[in-house]
Every structure is written in structure tokens, then in C-alpha cells.
Amino acid sequence: MDLRSERPYWPSTCRRPRLRSSLSRRGRVDVLIVGAGVTGALVAYALAKAGARVAVVDNRAAGSGSTPASTALLQYEIDTPLVKLSAALGRAHAEAAYKASRIALDDIVRIDRELGGGIDLLPRRSLQLAVKPSDVRTLRGEVAARQRLSFPVSMLSRAALRSKFSLNRPGAILSEEALEVNPLKLTYRLLSAAKERGVCILPRTRLNLSTLATKTRPFRVELPDGGRVVADRVVMATGYETPEQFREIAVVTELRSTFALATEPLSREPWPERALLWDAGDPYFYARTTADLRVMIGGEDEPFTTAAARDAMLASKTRTLMKNLRDLVPRLRFQCAFCWAGTFASTKDGLPYIGEHHRFPGVSFALGYGGNGITFSVIAADIIAAAFGGSTHPAAKLFTFDR
Ligand SMILES: Cc1cc2nc3c(=O)[nH]c(=O)nc-3n(C[C@H](O)[C@H](O)[C@H](O)COP(=O)(O)OP(=O)(O)OC[C@H]3O[C@@H](n4cnc5c(N)ncnc54)[C@H](O)[C@@H]3O)c2cc1C
């Protein structure tokens, strides 16, 4: 699948490290990970730390799928608000999912420390903006639900939002806990650290996944270059191309087209504190800043049909995103430097699918589908590493296929 258009911003910020390494002659590993995007990188790093022998293969160069298209706002808020998720899955399940997402933010801070920085990870406050006056009531209910979990959130009135953040909207949830990151630097640093711990990385290696998944353990995989991997377990970190390779995944996900842009660098802060901004509109809109002081915005989602149809919308969607930014921050003067389109997958309840599907024993899926895919991938890495160590992660049952 063509996952995104040609020119996202992040590849201009860093160079791909040398990652290819060679397999031991017998090709024996504990875990074979398919996919070297941010998910595969997080899983490889976590497994290597847990002492596993790991090989990672990817059809493309590492970090060349959806990951460089990500706007990489890292939030614990799931696409489905806590109040709605509680109504759909029950309060205990919904609250546990939100708590797991919040812990994942701490995990990323820890990973950054372990990696020695270099991934442009920064703590930010975040603002979930009301679009219409009637949104305020819904947001208040959401604040109350999150405060019951002792999450540090508060409701800002229109006046408070204007005086503290210079934004003119009917109200907003102010959350004290969010992060921003450079997703490509994160991926490269994780893969480099994993390689240093002995993980073998084989880019530009396509596997036939449906054949692989139905094999019996240990999985014996013939590589296109004539080599061979023998693995006790397989992890599918294959992102949004997974539904086209597994009917079982296609029936529980929906593909959407989405759009983003990055401005030229600005000379000063575009809004106070460079908080992460996102709104409750449909289609929604969100914004952040980058390490070199660009504004990055995204949203304007549409149902996905084909990559060509998605990319044909890029020019008009870019104009709409720019208009949204002007409406939100009227005094801002900016020029668009990068714009791109991507495909992403969402699930009905907004939660990812992590773990085994009953049809494929020995195969774990790490599918962080939804707006906060990277946060979900951190959770997936933890769950998979715990399973390798012989324990069951407390969040594992929240994201199973049979939930
Ligand atoms: C425009 C956009 C904005 C986003 N914004 C955010 C955000 O603000 N915050 C957030 O948390 N998330 C966001 N996301 C989601 C997040 O970016 C994704 O969840 C994440 O990048 C997915 O990473 P991945 O490693 O799972 O997938 P990918 O990066 O696509 O990696 C999967 C890899 O699997 C490989 N592969 C697939 N099939 C095979 C095969 N058969 N053989 C070999 N290799 C194979 C592919 O080549 C690919 O490189 C956004 C996504 C998009 C598109």
C-alpha cells in the first residue's frame, strides 16, 4: 500500500543511520518482528532489553512507512472520550485504558533518558478546544470523569482561554500531561540502540505475512536474499498495511485519509507555552510546534478509498488546514513549507489491537490504531516484552481481539 504522499517534514530533520546487520549463520532468534517503523522499533528495543534474540525485517528502509508522516503529539487521551468509552465498554475497562495510556507517557520519558535524548521529546500542556458553545458541557463532563482518576485537568472558560493562551474558543480542557517528539529520530535511536544490543535489522525484505502467520512453531522463514530465520514467535508491527494482508484485521478496522502540514520556521512562539492544541470538531483539527519553531497542523480526515484519491485532495485540504490555523491564531503570519497526506486506521472503540489472534498462535499483533498510535505502540512494546519474560502485563486484557 502507498501509505503516504512524498514529502512529510520529519525526514528533513535527521539522517537515517546505518542499520542493516547480518543474521547469525543459523538465523535462530526468539522473536521475528515484521515492521521497522516506530512500533517495530519500540518492540525491538523492549525485547532486546528483556534479553531476547531478535530480528527485524521491513519491506522498506527502516522508518519509511507511516512513521515519518506522524505529527507525533503524544497524549493519553484516546480518540474516544473517557465518558463515551465508559458507556461502550464499562467504566472499569475505559478507566484502565486511560490509565495505561497515561503510564505510556512516563515510559516514553524513561526511554528518552535511556537513549540519552536526541529525540526532541518535550513535555507540553495540551488544550482540547470546544468548537461550538454546546461542546463546553460535554468537555465539562469529560473533565469530571478524568478528575475522578486524579488526572491533572481543568476546564478553562472562554475568558480564561483568551487571557492565558490568546485563543478565542468557547472553552477548553487544559491537561497538564502531554509530550511532543520527533517520531523519526525516536525510531532511528531505538533501532540503533536495539542493534547495539545485538538485534539484527534487515530492511528492504518483504515477507508474505499470511503464509508466515499460518506456519507452525518454530516459524521457519525463507528470506528473499536466500537467508533464513527461525523464530519462536513473530510480532506483526506492520502498521496500516496489516488490514490488506489479513482479512481478520480488515474486518475490525476502518482506513481513513488524513492531512498535515508544517510551516516555515517562525521568529517567535505562535501561542503561549507552545501547548498542544486539538479540537472537538468533526473533522477535527490539531496543532503543535516543532523543535525549529514551525507550526505543524493536521486533521481534515476523509474515508480512505485509494492513495491516488487521497493525494488528489492534498492541495485543497492544505488550504483548509491553513485557513483553520488563521481562524484559530489570526495574528500569525506563516508560510506552508511541507504538506503531506497519509492513510491511517481506526477501530470502533478507539482502542488498539495488541496480542494474539486466535487463528494465529505464536503471532502477536502490535497495531496501535487510532489518533494516538505512538502512545499505543509504547503499550504494545511493554505487553509483548512482559509476555516474553513469562508474565502477563496488567493492560494486556484491555486490547485483545475478543474484548
Ligand atoms: C498524518 C498522521 C498523523 C499522525 N499523528 C499522530 C500523532 O499526533 N500522535 C500519535 O501518537 N500517532 C499519530 N499518528 C499515528 C502514528 O504515526 C502511527 O501509529 C505510527 O507511525 C505507526 O507506526 P508503525 O511502526 O506501526 O507503522 P509504519 O511506520 O508504517 O511501519 C510499519 C512497517 O511495516 C512494514 N511492512 C508491512 N508489511 C510488510 C511485509 N509484508 N513485509 C515486510 N515489511 C512489512 C512497512 O514497510 C512499514 O515500514 C499519525 C499518523 C498519520 C498518518
User: Going from the N-terminus, what domains does the chain have, and what CATH number goes with each?
Assistant: 125-179+254-346 (3.30.9.10)
Q: Does the beta carbon of 3 sit less than 6 angstroms from any atom of ligand 1?
A: yes
Structure confidence by residue, pLDDT tens digits, 1-15? 899 998 999 999 999
Q: Give the CB-side neighbour count of residue 99, counting CA atoms within 13 A.
A: 14
Residue 253 burial (CB count, 10 A): 20
* Residue owning the nearest CA to atom 21 of ligand 1: 67
Kindly state the helix (H) or strand (E) to which residue 384 belongs, with its residue range: helix 373-388
290 Cα to the center of ligand 1, angstroms: 20
311 Cα to the center of ligand 1, angstroms: 18
Non-local (6+) Cβ contacts of 172 within 8 A are: 127, 128, 129, 130, 139, 155, 156, 161, 165
With cell 506563516, the residue in question is 334
Q: Does the beta carbon of 373 sit less than 6 angstroms from any atom of ligand 1?
A: yes
Atom of ligand 1 nearest to the CA of 341: 1
- Mean pLDDT within 160-181: 97
Helices (H), 208-363: 209-213, 242-245, 247-250, 307-312, 314-328
Ligand 1 pocket: which of 105, 235, 238 to mutate (most atoms within 8 A of CB):
238
Q: Provide the pLDDT for residue 32.
A: 97
* Residue owning the nearest CA to atom 53 of ligand 1: 342
397 Cα to the center of ligand 1, angstroms: 23
229 Cα to the center of ligand 1, angstroms: 24
Q: Does the beta carbon of 207 sit less than 6 angstroms from any atom of ligand 1?
A: yes
Ligand 1 pocket: which of 374, 377, 379 to mutate (most atoms within 8 A of CB):
374
Q: Provide the pLDDT for residue 6.
A: 86
* Residue owning the nearest CA to atom 51 of ligand 1: 70
Task: Report yes or no: 206 and 191 within 8 Å, Cβ to Cβ.
Answer: no
Share of the chain above pLDDT 90, in %: 92
Distance CA 124, CA 114 (A): 20
Structure confidence by residue, pLDDT tens digits, 241-291? 999 999 999 999 999 999 999 999 999 999 999 999 999 788 889 999 999
- pLDDT greater than 90 at residue 212: no
Exposed e or buried b per residue across 273-283, where buried means at least 16 C-beta atoms within 10 angstroms of its C-beta: ebbbbbbbeee
Q: Does the beta carbon of 112 sit less than 6 angstroms from any atom of ligand 1?
A: no
Q: Provide the pLDDT for residue 24.
A: 79
Ligand 1 pocket: which of 34, 66, 180 to mutate (most atoms within 8 A of CB):
66
- pLDDT greater than 90 at residue 215: no
Structure confidence by residue, pLDDT tens digits, 43-101? 999 999 999 999 999 999 999 999 999 999 999 999 999 999 999 999 999 999 999 99
Ligand 1 pocket: which of 43, 241, 295, 314 to mutate (most atoms within 8 A of CB):
241
108 Cα to the center of ligand 1, angstroms: 17
Q: Provide the pLDDT for residue 111.
A: 98
Q: Provide the pLDDT for residue 357.
A: 95
338 Cα to the center of ligand 1, angstroms: 19
Angle, in degrees to the nearest 10, between helices 183-196 and 38-49: 30
Atom of ligand 1 nearest to the CA of 41: 25
